[in-house]
Structure 1
C-alpha cells in the first residue's frame, strides 16, 4: 500500500487538497472535486493510504503565497504527475506558460511537436492532477473563449484575473 501525505488549505476560491508522494506534489484539487482526485489517485496507485501532514515540504505555504500574490512561489515545487509520455510532455509545457499570459491548446500541441493533437492536449489538460501548480487554467480555446476547467469555469476565470489576465472583450493569446 502506497502512503501519501495530504493537507487541506483555505483559498479564496475554495478549500484545496494538497497530496504529496515522497517529496513530490502528486495531486492538488479542490475539496468539492475530491471524488475526481481520488479516482485519479487510484488509477495511478492501485492501493493507497492518505495520512495528514501539516504543510508537507512547505508546499501548502507556497500555494497560499501564490494566492497572496507571490506568483513565483509555485515555480520550485517538484511535481510527480504520472501519466503517459504524451501527458507528461503536455504538463511540462504548461509549466512554461508565464504568469499573466494565456495560450491555446493548439499552441501547446505545436510546442510539443504534435501540431494536430490539440484535442488530445485538451483531454490531457482535463486530467491534470496538480492544477494551479501545473497551470492548465492558462489554456483557452482557439477563439479566445474560456473552455473547460475541472475546478469550474468561475475558478478558472478567478485564477486568470488573479494573475492579471484581462478577460473583457478579446483575450490576448501568447
Structure 2
C-alpha cells in the first residue's frame, strides 16, 4: 500500500511536472510566435519601404533622363537657329523700331572695329615676317602660317557636345 501511495504521489508529481513543462513549453512557443510575428511585421514594413524607395529612385532617374533629353533637344534647336540666323535677313523679325536702329549702329561700329583689327593684325604679321627675314629664317611665310594656325587653335572655344542617343534620330 505504501508503495502504491508512493507511486501515486510520483505519478501526481510527474503529472504536475509534465503540466508545468507543457505550460512552460506553451509559454515559450507563444513568445516565439510573437517574436516571429513581430519580425515578419518589421520585414513586411521594410520591404514596403524598400519598394517605395526603389520606385522613387526610378522616377527620379526618369526625370533626370528627360531633363537631359530636353537640354540636348534645346541645345540642338538653338544651334540650328544660330547657324541659320542671318543678321541682315532676321534682325527685322526680332528687333523693332529704335532697337533695330541701335542694333544696326552697333553692328556698323563693330564692323569698323573689326576692320581696324584686321588692318593692325596684317601690319603685325608683316612686322613679324620682316623680323624673321632679318633673322635669316629659312621660310618666314611657313613660320607665319604656323603661328597663325596656333593662334587660331587657341582662340577656338572648347565645345563639349553630348553624344546624341539613337532615340533622337
Fold match (TM-score > 0.5):
no
TM-score after normalising by structure 2: 0.17
Report the structure, 1 or 2, having the larger helix content: 2
Higher relative contact order by CA 8 Å / sep ≥ 6: 1 or 2?
1
Tell me which structure has the larger Cα radius of gyration: 2
- TM-score w.r.t. structure 1 length? 0.16
Q: Compare the two structures and name the one with the higher strand fraction.
A: 1
